[in-house]
Structure 1
Amino acid sequence: MLIVLSLGGSILAKNLDPDRFLKYANALRDISKKHTLLVVTGGGEAARDYIGAARAMGADEVTCDYIGIEITRLNARLLISALGPDAYPEIPSNYPEASKAMTSGKVVVMGGVTPGQTTDAVAAILAEYLRADLLTIATSIDGVYSSDPNCDPSAVKYEKISPEKLINIVMAIEMKAGSKSPVDPVAAKIIERCKLDALVMDARNPDLLVEIICGEAAKKSPISCGTWITAKKNQKLKHRGSDIHPYCRDPDWADGSASLQLLERRRTRA
């Protein structure tokens, strides 16, 4: 299988613990023995700290986005160091570069790409571009709930949902002040648009990440630590490989303008 993994910075880079990076590197190494693997790393607490400092000094939001992107790439660089010879040595800065890197047979690791897009959105676009078999969003949340479980004790967890259902849930959660959705709205839209199979899972234990992706990804049986997002497909597309084409059918999503507009609407509501 061709798998794109969005690895949250909050679980990968917590306290910048070298042992944590090495444990995730071992997990990714094991996964790559069975699957073709590309990883997009998040920024985590360090990105939030740097962005907060920039805002306090009057930086505009685009500048803050670029700062966040740089932090995600620093985390990518650390993970590449932990993977050693099993990693592609360079960090792709766009989707065609990631596609070319994939042909090396190594684990490809990258960070953010476009201002206004989270690394979840970057991973979703990458999965669409490569026509991946599975997008995995590895986070500290054990799946998708009917509402934010941190704010609503009656929230119900789903074992499997459709992309359309995911969008409805995400947008409802995002409309509520103080609530946080398990999937970025832009990523959810891309999952729905290209009918991606996806998994949202609690990956704070790297060994569990290996167990689920290597053991359950093909059959998508219910798991306690996550939610499967499955779509009906009319046709199975071949993996893109290294051929270079425009990486999104919709140029507004490709260049980030649509996600920037969505971000601006959310900021206006706040």
Structure 2
Amino acid sequence: MNNFIKSIFIEAGFECSERINFKGDYSANFSFFTRTVRNKFDFYLVGNFREKEVSLECLQQELAQCLDSILLEMNVSGLDKNLSLLLLLETESTMYSKERTRYIYNIEEDPYDFKKYVLTHTKGQFEALELILSEMQAGPLLNKLNYLLLEKKLFASFKKKEEDRNTIENKEADIYDLVSKLFIKLPFLSVIIEQENLGNLKKEIDAKLTRTQSNIVNLMLEQYIKDPELQINDILTVIGCEGIE
């Protein structure tokens, strides 16, 4: 998952900084990404952990040490105000226990130091996502993720109640759950919605009508244009048709 997230950051224009020498017992679990766009900076500290691998108190200590290391080695004004944390948390289940919910809440709602985002995922979810991505046509990873986010079939499976899904729908729901969380937890990702070209509705309707039906519709429209206040029965009377009972 860590390399997968790294690919997302790189494709989004970030650089992975190798110069930060993190301190602490979990220094190998962290990586640091920077991006500069029109003299504006974005900085992300990414941590990769399994659930219950590190306690909340221990994690907060690790984050404080990471922040000190970044501020010490990166001489950039305002870095602390533009720094975000993405915590990748591998879990055994997609279901949220009270303990996990409280753990995530305490991290994300902590007002100190920097913005924090927790992205939960299971090993099975990530493997299913990797598989479907490998089966898609070659192209940018972000485009593929955007396609999956807008895929109606995946969304339909995701919205179904778990007890009503079959095996395939469960996998589709897991994939959509993870993809949607990527877009929620990584604010720099943009959803690209392609506009569908709609056909000329009037032409489609006219093609379905007989000549008599088409003449009646045109007469009704003419009467409506002349007097929009006319009720449907008044219009039918004017064009010589019986009213609706």
TM-score, reference length from structure 1: 0.29
TM-score, reference length from structure 2: 0.32
Return the index of the structure with the highest Cα Rg: 2
Give the helix-richer structure, 1 or 2: 2
Give the strand-richer structure, 1 or 2: 2
Structure with the bigger RCO (C-alpha within 8 Å, sep 6+) is: 1
